[in-house]
Structure 1
Amino acid sequence: MGQGAARQAERLWTRDFVVITFITLFTFIGFQMLLPTLPVYASQLGGSDTAVGLVVGVFTISAVIIRPFTGHYLDLYGRKGILFAGLLIFAASILAYAWAPSLFILLVFRFIHGIGWGLCSTASSTVATDVIPKSRLGEGMGYYGLASTLSMALAPALGLYIINSFNFDVLFMLSAGMVAVAITLALTINYHKPAATRSGFNLIEKAALRPTVVVFFITMTYGAVVAFIALYAAQHGITNIGSYFTIFALALAISRPVCGRLADRIGFDLIIIPGIILVATAMFLLYFASGLHWFWLAAVLYGAGFGAAQPVLQALAVISVPPQRRGLANATFFTGFDLGIGAGSIMWGAVASVTGYSVMYLLATIPAMAALASYSLLGRKAETSVAA
């Protein structure tokens, strides 16, 4: 049987794949509604630029703490229970934001929220890699990533609309409601996970370290975008910055499945390297941004680059490990992902307070170039195919 016939025989769009994709869609809608709005909420509670960065940073720090343990226990005990527990913590934390009387209490709730995120996002990604055929992993992760992409197209603009037209209480109720839909869907998951054969207590999957380091540097730039793009735009008198996230998401929606499928055919290097270059270029354009058209152009390049690099890097993280270690491989990868956002949000908040937002985005090209260098220098070259 030829490679094309083998790919056709391995069905991608199974019931399990569709269900976990929709779980991720509703979870990410609840998550993305808060990304551009919580910094505004923190500002209203009296937070400085540095404090606003902490709102994003504390969330990702707690997710980073819990992820390695999540990966270990996912491989030992299964996916469904951890996914369900994470979603419950996630929804409850969102509702708790409405009762935060101070920035400190908000940060406490944000820390707990990050624990829920670390549990449910690691579990859902592991389920996805379980049910996607290995020979179609790049393509499958590209399509799976469309769930988060669609949420990016809708949720940030929706969140900004809600706080401008209603209030934060309505925002938190709707965000938690989206996660409640994901919880309902999680109850229907019923597939046989790979048998656990690992011994010992491992918190890091060494085979996943190369893509983990690369995605760490890439998501440092993402921390600059999600924490400060709305404040930067407001500085230029731009009020409809929600369109940035919509255009960013549309570029992601095109690049993720196309580049994932190409990676399976032509090799990972030819997708990841151009993607990183586009990310760096987008940060450079934000340095010059003075009108909405500059933000839109940066959104196109950033979406195309991030959408090319991130899912293929994740596929690279899990392709070289046996099925029973996918939980730890995913946890290792997303630890780097979250560390980048968290470190970037905190660092860029401190940088912006000294240099201003425009110079901050110029400096954000540095981690993008570090991602390119680390991909080129660390380890062996990526596999040129994912054939079994």
Structure 2
Amino acid sequence: MPSHTKHSSGSGKPKLWTPAFILIVGVAFCCFIVGQGLNSGTSVYINRLGGTATYAGLLAAVFSVAAAFARVLCGPIIDQKGRAIVMVIGSGLFAGGIIVPIFTNDTAAFVACRFFQGVGFSAVTTAAATAAADVLPFSRLGEGIGYYGLGQALAMSVGPALALLLVSTDPPENLFIGLAAMSIVMFVLALLCRYERNPQKLPDTSVYRMRCEAHDRGEDAEAEPEQRGLRRVFEPSALPGALPMIVLSPAFGFGIFFIGLYGTTLGIGNPGLFFSVSALSMIAVRLKSNAFMDRVAPFKVLAAAVACGIIAYLLLLAAGDVAALYYLAGIFYGACLGASMPICQSVAVKNTPAERWGAANALYLLATDVGVGIASIAWGAINDLFGFTTTICCVIACIALSLVVAWFSFPPDAKRKR
């Protein structure tokens, strides 16, 4: 996209923290807090009501399937109808799916609510990721996506902690009251994201404004034929960033589903502290992202992230009952997550025409969903058969393999010095 890199508003760096970008980061922050809170708190809520682990697992599967289903639909809708409308409708569905359980715990209603929660979560996160790319200056896209990801980083510690606090109170429905309040805030912020109607209010370096100005001058690129089949839903140009994430995200899946259990098995007093440490590490990496995201070749950034991931899991293998090593692993785990996800996403987006960024983000996020979803099944089975040591060795193999996949999938300019 050479036209994006030529546009400049003058000396110095183009502006990053615009009102539109702040709103979008706010939407993402609320969405991930609520989503992580639901994933952590629902099983405890079911347990408090006397439900079974099998039922809780079914509800988790419903959420995951709904989220994947929505990814398939959201990409082309975002590209054709706009980002804001998908964010608003998704926020409404998400909020509705959280409000209903306050008044009823009927099994069928609860399953339906988990479905709407998954659809809403997927719609908001896909649209918000695309909107963030819209309003960011192209020359600082990697850095901006890193900041956007702070919502995810904070959610990994704040969301579960908030949910577990709420669900432990009486009545346990306070879980949904608290998360519903935050989802309403998310809905209001989504309503305020109106940059598509007023692109002239964006900095002149933003990709969306440049596209609109080019359209007004009649300088649009030659129209491409209408996409059909899977090409309409997903953008193949995003595969260079999505393929490594399919292989790498199972390592994060192990972290989400099993690291806490592994810590408990080792006899670590407070295994949940791993996630707080990793969240702080992610935040630190993303706050420093301006030093490397758009200045260092993406492959080199990913290589450093992969090295951190391997170190993290080697430390977990060596931890035994030494809590310090277990928590130290969280620092490297957070650094891996904090650098790898935004760099792969920026490769996916930069390799894709701007008018197809919705489909590109849908493909990238689906790749992450698939990797995490497969991991939740595969790691459990391997662990039951062979134990945690074998499982962690398999996780390390996945992390290393992701770098090999990136070497073959990343475009040449993502592997060269900058």
> Fold conserved (TM > 0.5)?
yes
| Counterpart for residue 66 of structure 1 | 70
Secondary structure of 1:200's counterpart equals coil
Cα distance, 1:315 vs. partner? 0.8
Cα distance, 1:322 vs. partner? 2.4
Cα distance, 1:356 vs. partner? 4.2
Counterparts of 1:16-27 in structure 2 under 5 Å?
A: 16-27=20-31
User: Which of 47, 56, 72 is equivalent to 2:53?
Assistant: 47
Amino acid at match of 2:399: A
Distance 2:390 2:9 in 1: 52
Distance 1:89 1:239 in 2: 39
Check conservation: 1:143, 1:256, Cα contact below 8 A: yes
Check conservation: 2:166, 2:178, Cα contact below 8 A: no
Q: Do structure 1's residue 133 and structure 2's residue 137 form an aligned pair? A: yes
Q: Do structure 1's residue 211 and structure 2's residue 204 form an aligned pair? A: no
Distance 1:386 1:315 in 2: 17
Distance 1:287 1:75 in 2: 45
| Counterpart for residue 310 of structure 1 | 341
Amino acid at match of 2:338: G
Distance 1:369 1:331 in 2: 25
| Counterpart for residue 383 of structure 1 | 414
Distance 1:275 1:323 in 2: 27
| Counterpart for residue 151 of structure 2 | 147
Distance 1:230 1:165 in 2: 23
| Counterpart for residue 33 of structure 1 | 37
Cα distance, 1:256 vs. partner? 1.9
TM-aligned CA distance change 1:52 to 1:292, over 3 Å = farther
TM-aligned CA distance change 1:72 to 1:355, over 3 Å = same
| Counterpart for residue 293 of structure 1 | 324
Cα distance, 1:101 vs. partner? 5.3
Secondary structure of 2:192's counterpart equals coil
Check conservation: 2:44, 2:167, Cα contact below 8 A: no
Check conservation: 1:156, 1:242, Cα contact below 8 A: no
TM-aligned CA distance change 1:4 to 1:70, over 3 Å = closer
Secondary structure of 2:295's counterpart equals helix
Distance 2:113 2:6 in 1: 53
Q: Deviations over 1:129-167 (max 9, x none)?
A: 000000000111111111222222322222233334556
Distance 1:370 1:207 in 2: 21
Distance 1:312 1:33 in 2: 26
Check conservation: 2:299, 2:407, Cα contact below 8 A: no
Q: Do structure 1's residue 366 and structure 2's residue 397 form an aligned pair? A: yes
Larger Rg: 2
Farther off after superposition, 118-127 or 5-14: 5-14
Q: What are the ranges of 5 or more consecutive residues in structure 1 without an aligned counterpart?
A: none
TM-score for both structures, normalised by structure 2: 0.82
| Counterpart for residue 185 of structure 1 | 189
Distance 1:357 1:105 in 2: 37
Q: Deviations over 1:189-244 (max 9, x none)?
A: 11126569652341121111021111122221222222233333334444633322
User: Which of 362, 373, 378 is equivalent to 1:342?
Assistant: 373
Secondary structure of 2:316's counterpart equals helix
| Counterpart for residue 323 of structure 1 | 354
Amino acid at match of 1:115: V
User: Which of 109, 127, 149 is equivalent to 1:123?
Assistant: 127
Farther off after superposition, 166-175 or 195-204: 195-204
Secondary structure of 1:122's counterpart equals helix
| Counterpart for residue 202 of structure 2 | none
Secondary structure of 1:92's counterpart equals helix
Farther off after superposition, 174-183 or 150-159: 150-159
Distance 2:12 2:371 in 1: 37
Secondary structure of 2:294's counterpart equals helix
Distance 1:230 1:342 in 2: 17
Q: Do structure 1's residue 220 and structure 2's residue 250 form an aligned pair? A: yes
Check conservation: 1:141, 1:311, Cα contact below 8 A: yes
Count of matched residue pairs: 384
Q: Which runs of 4+ in 1 moved over 6 A?
A: 1-5
Distance 1:342 1:357 in 2: 19
| Counterpart for residue 286 of structure 2 | 256
TM-aligned CA distance change 1:72 to 1:90, over 3 Å = same
